[in-house]
């Protein structure tokens, strides 16, 4: 029969496991940034095109996100949704609001005004903001998790 653990020993094990998980999230491969940027670009730009093209853009973007999620989970053993914990949640919500605004602008300019260059420009902006937002989220996530009791 194993010896009883003290609460301090149990807490140390939990904290060590948490730190090991965070270390796996410290660096990510180029395909993560590229895939996330492409998904953001397709989601935003695709809204400005006619329905068949828009549907394909959204479908491909979701497929890219699923592939990223599965590959990341296989690589690190961890997957966290974008809405927890608190500080990281606000980074995800902020990025979502900005991308929604770009989507609406793409719909208005592309579908209603026929200015196809606007959705394309919005997609490029969304790609850059997606990568920046993801890195901000990751930094805040690590801060939040390390500050948990």
* Model confidence pTM above 0.85: no
Looking at residue 3, its pLDDT comes to: 66
| Residues 20-73 pLDDT 10s | 777 766 777 889 899 999 999 999 999 999 999 999 999 999 999 999 999 988
Choice between 82 and 98, residue whose per-residue pLDDT is larger: 98
Task: Annotate 95-119 with b (16+ C-beta within 10 A) or e (fewer).
Answer: beebbeebbebbbebbbeeeeeebb
Share of the chain above pLDDT 90, in %: 55
Map tokens 């996100």 to a residue. Answer: 65
Contacts with 106 (C-beta within 8 Å, 6 or more apart), sequence order: 44, 45, 46, 47, 48, 118, 119, 122, 123
Q: Which residue has the tokens 């948490």?
A: 18
Query: Residue 117's pLDDT is what?
Result: 97
């Amino acid at each position: 029969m194993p010896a009883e653990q003290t609460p301090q020993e149990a807490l140390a094990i939990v904290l060590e496991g948490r730190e090991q998980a965070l270390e796996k999230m410290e660096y990510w491969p180029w395909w993560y940034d590229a895939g996330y940027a492409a998904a953001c670009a397709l989601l935003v730009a695709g809204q400005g095109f006619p329905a068949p093209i828009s549907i394909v853009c959204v479908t491909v973007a979701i497929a890219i996100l699923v592939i990223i999620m599965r590959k990341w989970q296989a690589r690190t053993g961890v997957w966290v949704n974008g809405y927890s914990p608190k500080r990281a949640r606000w980074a995800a919500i902020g990025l979502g609001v900005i991308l929604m605004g770009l989507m609406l602008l793409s719909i208005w300019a592309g579908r209603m005004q026929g200015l196809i260059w606007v959705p394309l420009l919005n997609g490029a902006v969304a790609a850059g903001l997606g990568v920046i937002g993801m890195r901000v989220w990751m930094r805040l996530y690590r801060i939040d998790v390390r500050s948990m009791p």
